[in-house]
Structure 1
């Protein structure tokens, strides 16, 4: 049998060996993402207060690194669990896109001497990601009840 072209790009054996731990890792990284979002918001508020324009604002590197890690992990989860991974990947990409636009909103607010607002859309998007990642990682807690109903 010929090997799949995907086998040359993604170490499928390594992914299969960590498939059981991957949902818990994703849940942990999503929670770290919330913490880095909070730290980024504090950084934006401090930079907006110190500067006259949006020149002081810059992307918060730890938050961007966690975003990239979360995208990579959700794509890896899609390889081992296609349905759950696809749902999680769409939610994570939506959260990353909302983070991008929230940063641009903070720049506009700083440029126009407005009060720096909270990243509301990114908070809602991360709440959805937390809910689904929790469902994937902690389903074993409700599985007996779920199976008795369904």
Structure 2
């Protein structure tokens, strides 16, 4: 008997366990796209508005962040090792995005005309994308992997 048997429908999660890393992979790609759009939106808000009050969070980017975190946590139930690594990378992206937004507010307060690129969040996203891709598409490299290992 599993400890979470009555709290989480583990059998139902195992049925969709194969598509969870693919879903996280897709959300990471969407998150990278929405990060670009959000950065352009922040620059436009800074030009059109006055200071830090003009810069606001963008709901699609926030939703992709939350979706990545929740799906990676669900994947951790199905595949503990891979899910833990993926969750750490995705939470790193979440934290980098959170503090990146706050740094945009500070840059807007300093009256600079251009906001810097969200380099830490992009870097964390690349690592999350690579690992989610590895978890999602391992079957592509599995024959070569089995020959070597």
TM-score of the superposition, structure 1-length normalised? 0.94
What's the C-alpha RMSD, in Å, of the aligned pairs? 1.1
Contact 1:91 1:128 in 2 (8 A): yes
1:65, CA displacement in angstroms? 0.8
In 2, are the aligned partners of 1:52 and 1:111 still within 8 Å (CA)? no
Q: 1:13 aligns to what?
A: 11
Q: Which residue of 2 aligns with 1:51?
A: 49
Over 4 Å off, 4+ runs: none
- The equivalent position to 1:95 in structure 2, one of 93, 97, 118, is 93
Structure 2: how far apart are the matches of 1:7 and 1:148? 37
**Partner Cα distance (1:9, 1:54) in 2:** 43
Quote the Cα distance in structure 2 between the aligned partners of 1:32 and 1:8: 33
> 1:9: how far off?
2.8
Pairing 1:109-124 to 2, within 5 Å after superposition: 109-114=107-112, 115-124=114-123
Deviation at 1:12, TM superposition (A): 1.2
For 1:75 and 1:48, the matched residues in 2 are separated by 35
The CA distance in 1 between the partners of 2:34 and 2:15, in whole Å, is 29
* Residue segments in structure 1 that go unaligned for 5+ positions in a row: none
Aligned residue number for residue 108 of structure 1: 106
Scaled by the length of structure 2, the TM-score of the pair is 0.95
SS at match of 2:14: helix
Name 1:135's counterpart in structure 2.
Answer: 134
Distance in 2 (alpha carbons) for counterparts of 1:56 and 1:10: 42
The structure showing larger relative contact order (alpha-carbon pairs under 8 Å, at least 6 residues apart) is 2
Q: Matched residue of 1:9: which SS?
A: coil
Deviations 1:77-103 (CA, angstroms, capped at 9, x unpaired): 100000000000000001100000100
